[in-house]
Amino acid sequence: MALASLIRPLPFLWHIFISGAAEVTVMAQVLKSALQSHAAPARVPRVSIGSGAEADRRAMIKQAACVILILSPNVWQDEPCLSDLSIAVQLGKKFLLVQDPDSRMPTHITPAAAMGTAPPHFRSLFEQNDVFSMYRRWFEQQAFLVSLFQVADLHSSIPHNYEQDQFVDIMEQKKSDVKELAMLKAGLWQYYEGFAERSGKLWGFYQVDAKFMPTLDLIELAVQFTSRSPESIPGYVAVFIMDWDKSSGDVAIREKSPRWQGKLDGGTGGTFHLQNKYADNLTFEPRPFVWHFFLSHIQRESSDMCGALVAKLEDLSPLGRKARVWYDQQAAAVINRCHGAWGKKQQEFHPDVEPLNLQVVVREL
């Protein structure tokens, strides 16, 4: 197949434009993060959120394939939002309607109530489109987002089973499911930070999650890399399987010509000293924590804010130097259990009461 048939221009700049009243600003950020984090690799949708002057918003809507409207109690009183809707209707854009199903949240409104209070010329939106409920927990989001991708004609963004890395998926699930801490408690999951060195110069940074399988003589590595050299690719995300000789400490990626090989000093949870096929020296040091931050007591009103805070910390930090954040919506007793399992060296923030300069936080990491 010719390369020209694979790379082609598209009639839009963004896949999705998100609009809503001012009260759903944080919810829009959470939705954007969820859409991008659940998408298939190399098929991550480009998402813009309505902000700025009307001319800027009009330009963004014109260059979007579809529009998501987040319903809320004040959606029909918000002038910028109404302007967005008018422009999108005029341009014939595809609409997707989203609502917050949690009645405890100030952004909650039922589809019937939203339709009943809508201006007459916008009520047809409810007749032509379903209303999707946006859930906040990782394991609840998948079905909602797959449906959203399907309706938005973003079928290539739907992750298939063969595209899901089971280990990375397990790591994400642990943010919401504290019943699955056995691997962490047993010391079989270790987080590493490291670097690559070439000719005495720093070449790039690594973040690595290692899953040790001593009974199989294997180690599974989930790797994020960012380069410090203009001569290298900017960065990548990958998963490798390593053969592990526990008696000698020798490790090598399971390939005919291993791209990485070297030593694991100290056995399970020890330090990796590796060399790649370019003769770069790679060093991965185990860290005394798995997450940099623990967001505490995420309940009701603060849950959206914490979701947005997690997304912002990740957006502001580069690949290979990502801010890792654990957060949960469960009770304080569960959170205390997590503290015991994950150690005391993480920084803890209470977003409801503590001001936080994200740029400073990322610089300190």
Between residues 316 and 118, which one has the greater pLDDT? 118
Say which residues have a Cβ less than 8 Å from residue 340's Cβ, sequence separation at least 6: none
Please give the Cα distance from 310 to 294 (Å, whole number).
Answer: 10
**Angstrom distance (rounded) from CA 244 to CA 242:** 6
Q: Residues 328, 256: one domain? A: no
Res 278 pLDDT > 70: yes
User: What is the four-CA torsion angle of 291, 293, 297, 300, rounded to 10 degrees?
Assistant: -100
Same domain? For 192 and 110 the reply is no
The Cα-based distances of 127 to 55, 111, 133 in angstroms read 29, 11, 17
Nearby residues of 268 by Cβ (< 8 Å), 6 or more positions away = 187, 188, 190, 212, 214
Which band of pLDDT confidence, cut at 50, 70 and 90, is reported for residue 226? confident
pLDDT confidence of residue 139: 59
pLDDT score at 159: 66
Residue 28: closest CA among 85, 83, 81, 104? 81
Domain final residue pick, 105, 132, 163: 163
pLDDT at 177: 45
Residue 171 falls inside a structural domain: no
- Same domain, yes or no, for 132 and 32? yes
What number is the average pLDDT over the span 251-268?
A: 90
Residue 307 pLDDT level (bands cut at 50, 70, 90)? low
Q: Which two tokens stand for residue 273?
A: 């000293």
| Residue 243: per-residue pLDDT | 93
Question: What pLDDT digit, counting tens, does each position of 311-338 carry?
Answer: 777 677 766 677 777 765 443 434 444 4
Task: Tell me the residue range of the domain where 32 lies.
Answer: 11-163
* Domain match, 153 and 18 both: yes
Task: Give the residue from 261, 286, 311 where a domain finishes.
Answer: 286
- Based on the fold, state whether residues 263 and 359 are members of the same structural domain: no
234 vs 84, more confident: 84
Token pair of 220 as six digits: 């599974």
- CA–CA separation, 65 and 95 (whole Å): 10
- The verdict on 312 and 357 lying in the same domain is yes
Q: Which of 10-14, 56-60, 209-213, 239-243 has the lowest mean pLDDT?
A: 10-14
Q: Which residues pair with 348 in a beta bridge?
A: 294
Model confidence pTM above 0.75: no
pLDDT score, position 342: 40
Of the residues 286, 305, 328, which one is the last residue of a structural domain? 286
Whether residue 3 lies inside any domain: the answer is no
